[in-house]
């Protein structure tokens, strides 16, 4: 009764509120609190338990799919689908705890879904693009790709985005729609790779001697594919000499070491054979004459001696 007495004293000066009305309001609030407080506590406990269960089931599903030799990208995607489906179902159950019948609000939910779909059509396009990426599989988890101006190793394909890690360990998140609609380069799709080294040898170097030297230098590179001989091709005449291309095949994991060994081996072999590598001729683009600051009409005129001609 003490809270009721306080409420009565607080509202005695308010016109239109009698002590009986205050007692009625307080009684109604007490009934609502007694009815919905246990439900709210139960719903909170249920949603926390459902969230934990969804995370646990997603991990179990991921391990099960991995043991079934399902591709890693697809396994992670399906695990995320299971997790969010359980969370959505738990929200519906929590609404039913408070007496909300989902069936009676089907039309309202459909209208809201349509409005949200129109408002989030960009996000939904990312979901559709993610499904298409999983169907066509232009890349897998662990592949090195270049897409949307970014390069890195694929970490995971999620519902809305694709996560890649760069060589210097930066995490980049790209929307799936951009990944699916852009030109994509997968540098680890094939197990074999070829590296090309371009160089220019001076005109006074003998062609046959240059070819033999480049071929021997390329053949001496370790970790190259022995069943594919080096390719040495004279490409064109340039301003300073003859342009050559030296190509080697290797396993994709050996691309960096083989390329470095090829470059150092070519330089050492040419120096030992006395065949000079042509230097690059520096070119300079003529600098246009400076202009005076723009005048009232926004027109600049060349600077130089003498008076500035008038603007007509």
Kindly indicate the confidence band of residue 24, based on its pLDDT and cuts at 50, 70 and 90: low
Determine the Cα–Cα distance for residues 135 and 122; give it in Å rounded to an integer.
Answer: 20
pLDDT over threshold 60, residue 310: no
Q: What tokens appear for 302 in the block? A: 């060349």
What are the start-end ranges of the E strands in the chain? 144-147, 150-157, 161-165, 171-175, 185-186, 192-202, 231-237, 241-251
Per-residue pLDDT, 69: 74
Kindly indicate the confidence band of residue 16, based on its pLDDT and cuts at 50, 70 and 90: low
Residue in this structure with the two tokens 């000079």, named with its chain if needed:
276
Segment 35-48, tens digit of pLDDT: 677 777 877 888 88
Segment 154-176, tens digit of pLDDT: 998 888 899 999 999 999 999 99
Per-position DSSP letters for 31-80, written without gaps between them: HHHHHHHHHHHHHHHHHHHHHHHHHHHHHHHHHHHHHTT--HHHHHHHHH
Per-residue pLDDT, 2: 42
Per-residue pLDDT, 127: 83
Q: What tokens appear for 45 in the block? A: 């406990």
Determine the Cα–Cα distance for residues 202 and 130; give it in Å rounded to an integer.
Answer: 53
pLDDT over threshold 60, residue 115: yes
Per-residue pLDDT, 120: 61
**Strand-strand pairing, 192-202 and 185-186:** unpaired
In the chain, % of residues over pLDDT 70: 71
Q: What average pLDDT does the chain have?
A: 79
pTM above 0.85, yes or no: no
Note whether 35 and 64 are within 8 A (CB): no
Question: Which range is least confidently modeled, 108-122, 155-169, 190-204?
Answer: 108-122
Q: What is the mean pLDDT of residues 231-241?
A: 94
Coil, strand, or helix at residue 102? Answer: coil
More confident residue, 211 or 66: 211
Note whether 59 and 48 are within 8 A (CB): no
- Burial string for 42-52 (b: 16+ CB within 10 Å, else e) reads ebeeebeebee
Question: Which range is least confidently modeled, 123-127, 153-157, 201-205?
Answer: 123-127
C-alpha distances (whole Å) from 189 to each of 70, 158, 233 are 18, 21, 27
| Strand arrangement of the beta sheet that strand 171-175 belongs to | 171-175, 161-165, 150-157, 144-147, 185-186
Total Cβ atoms within 10 A of residue 199? 18
In the chain, % of residues over pLDDT 90: 42
Domains of the chain: 2-100 (1.10.287), 138-186 (2.30.30.60), 192-273 (3.30.70.100)
Which H or E run includes 109?
helix 106-119
pLDDT over threshold 90, residue 117: no
pLDDT over threshold 50, residue 182: yes
Per-residue pLDDT, 124: 78
């Amino acid at each position: 009764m003490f809270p009721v007495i306080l409420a009565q004293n607080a509202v005695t000066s308010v016109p239109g509120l009698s002590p009986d009305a205050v007692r009625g309001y307080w009684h109604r609030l007490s009934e609502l609190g007694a009815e919905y407080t246990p439900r709210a506590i139960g719903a909170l406990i249920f949603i926390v338990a459902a969230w934990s269960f969804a995370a646990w089931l997603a991990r179990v599903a991921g391990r099960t799919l991995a043991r079934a030799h399902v591709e890693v990208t697809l396994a992670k995607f399906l695990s995320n689908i299971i997790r969010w489906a359980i969370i959505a179902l738990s929200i519906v159950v929590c609404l039913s705890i408070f007496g909300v019948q989902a069936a009676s609000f089907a039309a309202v939910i459909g209208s809201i879904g349509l409005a949200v779909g129109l408002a989030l059509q960009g996000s939904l396009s990312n979901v559709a693009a993610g499904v298409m990426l999983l169907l066509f599989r232009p890349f897998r988890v662990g592949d090195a790709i270049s897409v949307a101006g970014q390069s890195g190793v694929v970490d995971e394909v999620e519902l809305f985005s694709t996560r890649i890690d760069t060589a210097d360990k930066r995490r980049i998140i790209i929307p799936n729609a951009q990944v699916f609609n852009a030109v994509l380069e997968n540098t680890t799709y094939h197990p074999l790779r070829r590296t090309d080294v371009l160089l220019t040898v001076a005109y006074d170097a003998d062609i046959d001697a240059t070819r033999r030297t480049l071929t021997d230098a390329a053949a001496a590179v370790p970790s190259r594919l022995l069943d594919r001989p080096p390719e040495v091709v004279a490409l064109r005449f340039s301003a300073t000499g003859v342009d050559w291309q030296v190509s080697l095949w290797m396993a994709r994991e050996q691309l960096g070491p083989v390329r470095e060994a090829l470059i150092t081996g070519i330089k050492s072999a040419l120096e030992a054979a006395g065949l000079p590598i042509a230097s690059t001729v520096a070119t300079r683009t003529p600098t246009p004459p400076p202009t005076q600051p723009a005048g009232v009409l926004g027109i600049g005129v060349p600077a130089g001696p003498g008076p500035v001609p008038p603007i007509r």
